[in-house]
Each structure stands twice: as C-alpha cells, then as structure tokens.
Chain A
Amino acid sequence: MSQVSVSRRQATRTAPDESREARRRRRMSPSVFLVHGVLIFFVVMALGPILMTIMNSLKTQQGIFSGPFQLPTATTFSIDGYLRVTQLGDFGTLYFNSATVTIVTTGLTVGLATIAAFAIVEYKIKLAPVLSGFFIIGIMLPVRLGTVSLLQMMSSWNLVNTTLALILVYTGMSLPLGVALMVTYFRSVPQELKDAARIDGAGEVQTLSIVTPMVRPGLGAVAALTMLPIWNDLWFPLILAPGRSTQTVTLGVQQFMGQYDSDWPALLAALTLGTIPLILLFLIFSKQFIKGLSEGYGK
C-alpha cells in the first residue's frame, strides 16, 4: 500500500499546475471558512473580556453601566479611574516588588538550573540519573502544602514581609522544571564539542561557559516558564509578604478589589494595570513559553 501511495505522490508532483489549482480550491472551500469562523469565535471569547475591561476602564462610572459594549465617547471618556488607582493603590511600589521578585527568581533559577543540568548530563556516574529523577519528582510537588513549615522557617529567620522570602521559596519551587528542561537541551549538545574544549585546556567551568550559548533556546524556555506563575501567584505573597511595602501586583490588586468595591472605574483600571504587563511579557516570550511548556511537562 505504501508503494502505491509513493508512486501516486510522484504522479502529483509531476503535475504542479494541477496541484496548485487543487490547493487554491481547498483554500477557498466552505470548510476553510468554517474553520476560521470557529477559531475567530474562540478568539473573541478569549480576548473579549480583556478588551472589555481595558475599554471600560477608560470611561466614567455612568458610561460603564449605560453602555458596557460601547467605545468611550467624548462624554463617557475619563481616566479618573487610573488617577484614583495610582493614588490609592501605590502601583509603583507594587510593580517594583513584583519585578524584583520575578527578575531575581528567574535569574537564580536559570543560572542554577543550567549549572546543575550541565553536570547531570556531563558526569555520567551512577548518581547522575538519581539526581535527575529527584528533580523531576519536584515538578509535580504541591509546594503550597508545605506552607505551615515555610512560614515558621521564614519567621524564625525574620524574613516574613520581605521580598527575599518570596524569592527563596519561588526559586526552590521553579528549579525542578528548570533542571528537567535544561537536561533535555544539554543532551543535544554534541560530545565532541565538549571534548575539544577540554583538549584545548578548558577547565570544567570554562567548558560550561563554552556550551551554554548552544542551549540558549532552553534558557529562554526556562525563563519564560518561571516568570509567569511567579508574577501571578497570590498564595505566597498573601502568607509570606502581605505587608504594604512588600506586596506584589497580584496581591495588591486583590486587596484593592476588596477595599474599593463600588468604584468601578478604579477597579477596572486596577485590573488593566495588572493585565497589560503580563500580556506584553507573554507576547515577547510566547515562543519560548509554549516550547518550554510542552517540553518540560511533555516527558
């Protein structure tokens, strides 16, 4: 059967005009419209609520309620919500805290995961697969259930209400997936390259720095996969760093929503401010993120 299909495939290849014609017909067929129609429906479903939030955040309270689906007009347009949020919510501090926690954790995770994964792939002794397995188990570990002990640990170290507490916990939590991912990337580096570096007199640290550029896609994937859950987490900021000066954006928005329950322009502005940076971050890193997601959990 496979032989038949091969010969038929060759037959179509010899008649390029006909196949191009067929392809064009396929592109214009009703099923193509149907597929795009269904997908556009889901795109509207996915983006609609977000766009609606952003759009209504630029209106007066009255404008929000009288015509939720209308674009802001000259009479309903207002940025009062944003003015009130920035006064009441101190978004500068929130952004600063979230950025600090996210950037430091991501840097630590990428760095430590790279070194560890290099070693696990490189030094093939009995202990290496054991270590690798130990890290892989951690991908599924429900770390939140250790919170009682983490809180005691942090309070005995006087780290409650510091961003450092969050950085430590998030790094511990993110490393398993980071190591597992980097191991798959380091496996694809040819052995000859590392041996050549060593023959040229490179030490182990130097060898690592020579091969690291070759696993750059992996570094991107780990970074993207580490960043988003940390920026978005509510649980640990709520328990380990709820103080006003150490709040993250996610916790700040959560508290703001509870405090100013009826000021809709301000609420919608707060939500918009919490949404935009993440969407931008994702649009920049979407390739790495999606790749990392399927490769990290896919094994």
Chain B
Amino acid sequence: MRTSNSIHNAATKYRYLMLFTLPALIFYVVFAVYPLFATFVISLFQTTNGDGSFIGLDNYVYLFTDPTQSGHFWHALLNNLEFFAIHLIVQLPIGLLLAALITSDAVRRLTGFYRTILFIPATLSVVIVGFIWRMIISPLWGIIGFPLLGTEATALPTLSLMSIWQWIGIPMIFLYTALIAIPKDILEAARVDGASGMRTFWAIKFPLITPQFGLITILTFIWTMNGFDLIYSLMGGAPGPNYSTDILGTFFFRTFFGFNNVVGDTDYGAAVATVIFLFILISTAGYFFVLQRRLKPHEL
C-alpha cells in the first residue's frame, strides 16, 4: 500500500516525470531546439582567421542590401513559393481523387492493396526518385526529346512534378484516414435515402474531410520550404539553368557550405538560416492564427 500512496504524492510525481522525460528532452533540446537559437547567435558574428567578432545585424544588412545576395535570396524565395504552389495545386485534387476511389464501394477488399502500392514512391529516397526520373526524361534515352531540365521555363515545374509523383501518397493517406473515419450510419442513411455515390461524396463526405486540406497545406508548406535533396542532386548547389531552380535550401547550403567557386561563410549562412526560419515560423503562425479566427464563429 505504501507504494501506491507515494505515487499520489506530487513531489514523487514530479521526480518521476523529470526522470523519465529527461533523456528524450536532452536529445531533443541539444540537437533540435538549441541549434536553431545558436544559429541566430552565430549570425551576429563575423569570423576572420578563426576569431569571431560581434557585428550585430551586419550579416542581415548585407543579405538584404547587397544587390547580388538579395537578388538571389528573393529569387530563391519566389522559386520556393512556386515549388510549393505547384505541389498544392496538383497534389490536392489527385490526392482527393485517389482517396475517394480507394474508399469507394467499387473497391472494397482491394483498398489496402491500392493504398500500399500508391504509397510506395513516398518510401524511396528523394535522391533516387530524382535520378530515376532524370534518366527516364533524359533526351539521351529518347523517350522524351525535349530537355525539360535544361530549359529555364520548364526546369522547376518538372522538378515539382517529380516531387509530386513521389509524395502523392501523403495527401491520399490523410484524406483516406478522414474518409474511413466517417461513421457508417451516416453513409448508410444517405444510401437508403437514395443518394448516389457522387452525391453522398460531395454532400456528406467532402464537407467532413475539409479540415484535412488545411493540415496537408501546412505540412506541404513546411516540407517544400525545407526542400533541398531533389534539387541539389539533380541540379547541384547553384541550381540552373541560370539559377531558375534555386530554392531557399540550396541558397542556404551555398552560402554557408560553399559550392564550386562560391566560398562558404558560416556566420553569413547562419543569418540566411535565421531569416528562412523566421519566414517559416511567421507564415505557419499566421496560418494557425487565421484558421483559429475562422473557426470561432462556427463554434459559437
């Protein structure tokens, strides 16, 4: 009886809570949270011959006022937004179509089969997906005669479509999960009332799964803003043609790590990382803020 009493004691609970969460907290704080803040601190310095000196916001001033640097930054940001927008516009309708089809009455026992097969591309490495597609669309191979990746206007959309090919399973799974969570009684009632499959979908199922679109949008935003692997492997660290496929990830990599004739600058790279981080943070927070305000009238 003594043990069961002692665990109701707040001090004991506190001790165990700390003891059990501490290992996870240490890993999480040291290797995920702290580096983001430390990066900001690094960005306030300038290192010459191994000695760091405090220069305040000079790295940021340089980023936004130097014509070459700011040009590259805004260009990469716009490209990244285009990369995101193409993902969203193509992914949502196809993901919805696939989710609707694999949960439709016509499929029944094969739902799991289709779900697993259609998700396979998402399990591959972005690098491998990129190279597979580059080979297939290579003019050398002759299946497609046009240099899609070598032309400024088509390079970024082509890369986006490769990425969408890979990740289409993600929106499908989120919408699929929401669809199978709809109580069977509602659907059965609609069917008995004579509603067709199409009508049941648009009048009942679709409104119930709309919150998933918000989730998919925000996750796609964060993932595309962190994009790097695909573009770096196919187009390099100064992704051409003529930087037309440069996104924030490759711009950041180039500034701090260096690439070809670009010399890396750790402190300046830290400033670039901090700006990107703030951009993602503010956009995400803004999104949640708007979402919450929109939801309130419904709840009342």
Contact = CB atoms under 8 A, between A and B. Distances in A.
Contact of B136 (A52, A120, A253): A52
B276 A145 contact: yes
A232 B118 contact: no
A257 B131 contact: yes
Contacts of A249: 125
Contacts of A50: 120-121, 124, 132
A239 B252 CA distance: 13
Contact of B20 (A26, A118, A153, A198): A118
A187 interface: no
A141 B119 contact: no
B279 to A, nearest CB: 10
A52 B116 CA distance: 19
Contacts of A8: 192-193
B35 A146 contact: yes
B256 A147 contact: yes
A294 interface: yes
Contacts of B228: 144, 234-235
B23 A115 contact: yes
A145 B124 CA distance: 23
B165 interface: yes
A234 B141 contact: no
A11 to B, nearest CB: 9
B173 A293 contact: yes
A173 interface: yes
B interface secondary structure, majority: helix
A283 B116 contact: yes
A175 B119 contact: no
B66 interface: no
Interface stretch (B71-79, B82-90, B97-105, B199-207): B97-105
Contacts of B133: 49
Contact of B226 (A52, A142, A297): A142
Nearest to A169: B31
Nearest to B252: A145
Contacts of A181: none
B14 interface: yes
Interface stretch (A72-80, A85-93, A199-207): A199-207
Given A234-B232, A294-B177, A142 B225 contact: yes
B170 A293 contact: yes
B143 A68 contact: yes
Contacts of A172: 27-32
Contacts of A232: 123-127
B17 A46 contact: no
Given A38-B101, A176-B32, A297-B219, A271 B128 contact: yes
B125 A35 contact: no
B92 interface: no
A268 B232 CA distance: 19
B192 A297 contact: no
A31 B252 CA distance: 50
A288 B294 CA distance: 34
Given A2-B189, A203-B3, A235-B228, A35 B117 contact: no
Interface in A276-299: 278-279, 281-283, 286, 289-290, 293-294, 297-298
Contact of A179 (B24, B142, B215): B24
Interface in A105-154: 108, 112-113, 115-116, 118-120, 122-125, 127-128, 131, 135, 138, 140-153
Given A148-B39, A254-B233, A123 B132 contact: no
A276 B82 CA distance: 32
A148 B121 contact: no
B280 A142 contact: yes
B106 A143 contact: no
B289 interface: no
Interface in B229-260: 229, 232-233, 249, 252, 256-257
Contacts of A35: 101, 104, 106-107
B25 A298 contact: no
A290 B124 contact: no
Central interface residue in A168, A171, A208, by most chain B CB within 10 Å: A171
Interface of B: 1, 3-4, 7, 10, 13-14, 16-17, 19-21, 23-25, 27-36, 38-39, 42, 97-98, 101-102, 104-107, 110, 114-121, 123-128, 131-133, 135-136, 140-143, 165, 168, 170, 173-174, 177, 188-189, 192-193, 197, 215, 218-219, 222, 225-226, 228-229, 232-233, 249, 252, 256-257, 266, 269-270, 273-274, 276-277, 280, 284
9 contacts: A9-B189, A125-B14, A140-B284, A145-B36, A147-B35, A148-B256, A235-B228, A289-B123, A290-B173
Q: Which 5 A-B pairs have the closest CB atoms?
A: A146-B35, A172-B31, A119-B20, A149-B38, A294-B177
